[in-house]
Amino acid sequence: MATHYDCVIVGSGPGGYETAIRASQLGMDTAIVEKDKLGGVCLNVGCIPTKALLKSAEVMSEANHLDQFGLELDGSVSANFPSVIERSRGAANQMNQGVQFLMKKNDIDVLRGHGRLTAADTVEIEPSVNMDGDEVGEARTVTAEHIILATGARPNELPFLPIDGEHVVSYYNAMLQREQPDSLVIVGAGAIGVEFGYFYHHMGTDVTIIEVEDRIVPNEDKDVSRELAKSYKKAGITLMTGANVQGVDTDAEPLRVEVETDGGTEHIECDQVLSAVGVVGNVEDIGLETVGVETDGNDIVVDDYYRTNVDGVYAIGDVTGAPWLAHKASHEGILCVEKIAGHDVRPIDQRDIPACTYCQPQIASVGHTEEEAKAEGYDVKVGKFPFKANGKAAALGHQEGFVKTIYDDKYGEFLGCHMIGHNATELIAEVVASRKLETTGFEIMESMHPHPTLSEAVMEATRDAYGQPINI
């Protein structure tokens, strides 16, 4: 392998490996450094395996309501928890192999081991231990004209809620453990918290979700938060909002979680606690201090084109801060290398980054919430269309939720869209493209949506915003 490259990427998550591919396509001699498994957190212990777990939970939920589809089951369906986990590992391994193929296809050198900057143009690599406990890589030093840091993030850990991997676990532990807890307290009701809440509940675990804010999924539109809360309560998941976890007595059996609420102090007993309180960037031990790269807490500071304050050093993805999303990292990396190559690129509009939560009902959103749009001074047109009025949703037997659209009254700008319902995450791309193309509400209404589809709900919500509803 070479010792000098045009571009070296440290970290092979979706941001890292897609950046490497695009750099190679642009004619750059490219290498990628990975201390664990190709694909990073997302492919191996994040996006992909969690979606496999959630699919198992969804099938279990369907199996328990077969009568709604006119079907009868002679016997019962139960979860084989170790097999469910094993299936998710299979999905992760398949994608990992896919990334290995893509590296070879695009002539990208894969340098195994832990990478650390020793100069603005130099990465020192030393052997590391991967998630399987295997030592990988060898000591070497490489140089590059451009070094892109894509080191990702790890679970955040609160001082009063230390993660030990047994009593108090992170999402990493929760998706790999082969022994299912009978009862689980989840601290944090963002995407990670509600997704694991959905999974463990449908596996048969007694689930309580605790959120310090006054509603679950607090970053979403308030109407969406209320709808998901209604669905979870109906399913039998216990929700506590406006509640502060003070600590966990891990010596007690069962565990005792101390929670401060408006009504005073409560103690909740459980077999395990899942800490789902966000992530922090991996800025440690990658040589930032050595070369003088500026950071803000656990985030690397970058400009609109992902350049750090050190010439030749760039950073993308989770290590640069929120939102911590795989598709954001990939988009940033491609933009970064295209800028390096001299292409005319435009900075990302943060409002155009879609967010998805994969429990059922699913959540998908992009742009302003209604509250944000009004706060910024927009006169808004708001429309809402319930899936209970959608023919495809009726046929699927999943009529929970709605699509909510927000338009600027003056110019018709598509300010935002927020949806909750079955497979909502597959519908949001239309809105992302519409916003990118500066589409107005009139153009959405004039765009023929096929029938019967769930996508009609976007058009119908738009018609409602403009006072022209058809099916409600």
At residue 388, what is the residue type?
K
Per-residue pLDDT at 1: 74
Answer for the pair 288, 314: CB distance below 8 angstroms, yes or no. no
Longest Cα–Cα distance of the chain, Å, equals 67
As to burial, measured by CB atoms within 10 angstroms (0-12 exposed, 13-18 middle, 19+ buried), residue 236 is exposed
Question: Residue for token digits 């509400």?
Answer: 441
Per-residue pLDDT at 323: 95
Instruction: List, as one string, the DSSP characters of 236-252.
Output: T-EEEES-EEEEEETTS
Per-residue pLDDT at 259: 97
Per-residue pLDDT at 445: 96
Per-residue pLDDT at 2: 81
Q: Which helix or strand (DSSP H or E) is residue 128 part of?
A: strand 128-129
* All structural domains of the chain: 4-155+280-340 (3.50.50.60), 168-275 (3.50.50.60), 361-465 (3.30.390.30)
At residue 168, what is the residue type?
V
Per-residue pLDDT at 472: 94
Q: Which residues are catalytic?
A: 451
Tokens linked to 186:
């989840």
C-alpha span between 339 and 335 (Å, rounded): 6
Answer for the pair 42, 95: CB distance below 8 angstroms, yes or no. no
C-alpha span between 249 and 203 (Å, rounded): 25
Contacting residues for 465 by C-beta, under 8 A, at least 6 apart: 381, 382, 383, 405, 406, 407, 441
C-alpha span between 54 and 66 (Å, rounded): 18
HEC profile of 197-247: HHHHHHHCCEEEEEECCCCCCCCCCHHHHHHHHHHHHHHCCEEEECCEEEE
pLDDT tens for the chain, residues 1 to 472: 789 999 999 999 999 999 999 999 999 999 999 999 999 999 999 999 999 999 999 999 999 999 999 999 888 899 999 999 999 999 999 999 999 999 999 999 999 999 999 999 999 999 999 999 999 999 999 999 999 999 999 999 999 999 999 999 999 999 999 999 999 999 999 999 999 999 999 999 999 999 999 999 999 999 999 999 999 999 999 999 999 999 999 999 999 999 999 989 999 999 999 999 999 999 999 999 999 999 999 999 999 999 999 999 999 999 999 999 999 999 999 999 999 999 999 999 999 999 999 999 999 999 999 999 999 999 999 999 999 999 999 999 999 999 999 999 999 999 999 999 999 999 999 999 999 999 999 999 999 999 999 999 999 999 999 999 999 9
